[in-house]
Amino acid sequence: MRGLSKRIIPCLDVKDGRTVKGINFVDLRDAGDPVELAAQYAKQGADELVFLDITATHERRKTMIEMVKSVARQLNIPFTIGGGITEIADAEALLNAGADKISINSAAVKNPQLIEDLAKTFGVQFVVLAVDTKHIDGKNIVHLNGGRLITELETEAWIKKAEDLGAGEILLTSMDHDGTKQGFDCNLLSKINKMINIPIIASGGAGKTEHFTEVFQKAGVDAALAASVFHYGEILIPDLKQELKRHNIPVRI
């Protein structure tokens, strides 16, 4: 296990200015105000936060910028913003508003050059590639548009290409595990972790503290992300970190 502290990252899926959460990317329900939740997580000891505008459109970009400014005023921990970023200007506006990193997904698949352009403009450490993957006919396949669009890209090949282009971190979400609370996809995460040299954030499937212990021990990932278990108070971050520490997993207390 790498010596750096493992990161615990709450994820806030934002729709129309509210935090929402679903199962397998559907059946969304309200989970609260994103700015208030962000402040709570920072106090609890979250290492970072991720905000994903899951229905991003050009018209809502200004709304997201205002939210980023509000969040930045509340936080003393890094946070990543994703959703609807298709060009340098989008990323620049969000970073100028206070975001620490930007996350790209669909736009990067449609235009892989965007990864390289962002990395050269802002630095590799600012670029998080989000990958939504689903197991189909024995292969791991990349999905876009919040999981609604199937591509022909195999997940492993796409992630390797993204690393070569300059992605600084991979946020890998298993759609098969997402919202099920049955645990992370440790086999896939471990496989990809051995293929690349940049950090992986594991996403999809957290349901209890043991799942976090398992993903760090079995897959060796750098960070674990979850949403509903944090939003609804099923797992408290201080308790989770104490449990990880008991298993000799390095965390920032």
Catalytic residues: 13, 132
178: which 2 tokens? 């997402």
Distances (CA, A) of 117 to 1, 127, 180, 194, 200: 32, 10, 36, 26, 21
What are the φ and ψ backbone dihedral angles of 248, each rounded to 5 degrees?
60, 30
Residues β-bridged to residue 81: 51, 102
